[in-house]
Amino acid sequence: MRLSNLADYAVVAMRAAAGHCGSQMWSAAQLADQTGLPAPTVQKLVSRLSAAGLLRSTRGANGGIRLARPAAAINLADIIEAVEGPIAMTQCSDGPSGCTIEHSCGARPHWPQVNRAIRGALENITLADLAKEDVAA
């Protein structure tokens, strides 16, 4: 029930990218130096976020990374899914699951409802909200 450190760092990095560079080009090394996170970790995050389509990377001498979408169009669910995979409380939520008690698991039909609730809560928080200095609620 606790998201991994990678996802946590991803949120921090994305917030820094959204707040400081806007649509400017930014390098992963600079982002690491600015956030204080380990540089290799930021590289890994950038790799996954780029693969998920949240960041647009440009190679070359003066290359870098920038947001692929406006900050208001990116929410926590997108970031977490990009780093940790699908948001699903249980393995049986999506697929055959492989657990041996499928037939007797009466709780299984109720998990999708929980998943939707969690996902909805995460989708309501966007990068624009996180960029604000004051706490909303």
Partner DNA sequence: GCAATTCGGAACGATTTGGTCCGAATTAGC
Partner DNA sequence: GCTAATTCGGACCAAATCGTTCCGAATTGC
The residues binding DNA (CB under 7 A) are 2, 4-6, 9, 27-29, 38, 40-41, 43-44, 46-47, 50-51, 57-65, 84
Q: In the complex with a copy of itself, which residue's Cβ is closer, 30 or 90?
A: 90
Which of 17, 8, 18 lies closest to 128, judged by CA? 18
Residue 98 to residue 113: CA distance in whole angstroms: 21
Residues paired with residue 58 on neighbouring β-strands, in sequence order: 64
Site string for a copy of itself, 10-39 (x = CB under 8 A): -xx--xx--x--------------xxxx--
Q: In the complex with DNA, which residue's Cβ is closer, 22 or 63?
A: 63
Residue 107 to residue 5: CA distance in whole angstroms: 29
Partner from a copy of itself, DNA, none contacting 60, C-beta within 5 to 8 A by type: DNA
Q: Shortest approach of DNA to residue 118 CB, angstroms?
A: 16
Q: In the complex with a copy of itself, which residue's Cβ is closer, 4 or 58?
A: 4
Burial 63-83 (b: 16+ CB within 10 A, else e): ebbebeeebeebbbbbbbbbb
Partner from DNA, a copy of itself, none contacting 28, C-beta within 5 to 8 A by type: DNA
Which of 14, 22, 27 lies closest to 62, judged by CA? 27
